[in-house]
Amino acid sequence: MGRLRNIGISAHIDSGKTTLTERILFYTGRIHEIHEVRGKDGVGAKMDSMDLEREKGITIQSAATYCTWNGYQVNIIDTPGHVDFTIEVERALRVLDGAILVLCSVGGVQSQSITVDRQMRRYEVPRLAFINKLDRMGADPWKVLNQARAKLRHHSAAVQAPIGLEEEFQGLVDLVKMKAYYFRGSNGEKVVSEEVPANMEDLVAEKRRELIEVVSEVDDKLAEAFLNDEPITPTDLEVNKR
C-alpha cells in the first residue's frame, strides 16, 4: 500500500484533462496508441467509454484507470468538467491522495475551475495546477498563474517554464534541475535534455527565484540560504517543494 497513489484529474470543461490522461497512459506504457476525444479517429480516448461522451467530446461520468511509474501504481480518476456533473467530482475527491487541476493557458481560471478547486479545498486534497494548451493561439501561462493566485488564492509558483508559445512552442525548462527538455518523435515520446536556451536565461532566473522564495517559506534552512544568497541545489528544492 505504501507504493500506491490515488489521484484525480479535474478541470473546467474543454481544458483538455481527458487528453492529458490519454498522454499519461501512453507515456507510462499503459496504452500503446494515442486516441482523441470525440472519436475523431473512430476509436476515441480510452477514458471516454460512453457513446455520448465520444460524440460530444466531454466527460459525463468519472472513469478510473491505472498506470505504473518508478515502481508506484498510480490509480487515476478522470472526472467531468461540465457544471451539470459536479457531483461526480465530489464523489471522487473523497478517496484521493492528490489531484491535478488542469487550467487552459488561453481560457485561464474559469467558473468550474473555481468550483472544483473549492471542492478540493473542502476535502483537503493536495493539488497541483497543470497549465495546458501552450501551443494554442493566445496562450499565456504567466497570466494563468497570476489568476490562480488571485482567484483561487493559491500560494503557488511555476516549476517549469515553456520554451516558446503558440506555434513556436518547443519544450520546457525544468526550474528545479535547470535543464531544457524537448519532446521529439511523432508523439513526443523521445525526450531530449539540453542546456537552458541563452535567450531564456533572464526569465528562467526570475521564475526560479520566485519558486525558491515560495518554497523557502516551508523550510528554515532553505529560507536562510535564500536570504543569504547562497546556492540552492536541485535536491533542496525537490525535497521542499512537496
pLDDT at res. 217: 87
The pLDDT value recorded for residue 231 is 85
Burial 100-133 (b: 16+ CB within 10 A, else e): bbbbbbbbbbbebbebbbebbeeeebebebbbbb
pLDDT at 45: 59
| String of DSSP letters for the chain | -TTEEEEEEEESTTSSHHHHHHHHHHHTTS-SS---GGGTTSS--TT--SHHHHHHTS--S-EEEEEEETTEEEEEEE---SGGGHHHHHHHHTT-SEEEEEEETTTBS-HHHHHHHHHHHHTT--EEEEEE-TTSTT--HHHHHHHHHHHS------SEEEES-GGG--EEEETTTTEEEEEESTTS-EEEEEPPPGGGHHHHHHHHHHHHHHHGGG-HHHHHHHHTT----HHHHHHH--
Residue 18: per-residue pLDDT: 83
**Which residue ranges form the domains of the chain, and what is each CATH number?**
1-156 (3.40.50.300)
pLDDT of residue 187: 87
pLDDT for 61 equals: 58
Q: First-to-last CA distance in the chain? A: 20
Return d(Cα 56, Cα 71) in angstroms, integer: 36
**Per-block mean pLDDT, blocks of 10 residues, the chain (242 long):** 88 84 91 71 55 51 84 88 65 87 95 90 93 96 97 94 97 97 91 96 96 88 86 83 68
Torsion sign (Cα): 219, 225, 229, 232: negative
Q: What is the pLDDT of residue 99?
A: 93
C-alpha cell at 64: 478510473
Taking only the tens place, the pLDDT of each residue in 138-160 is 999 999 999 999 999 998 999 99
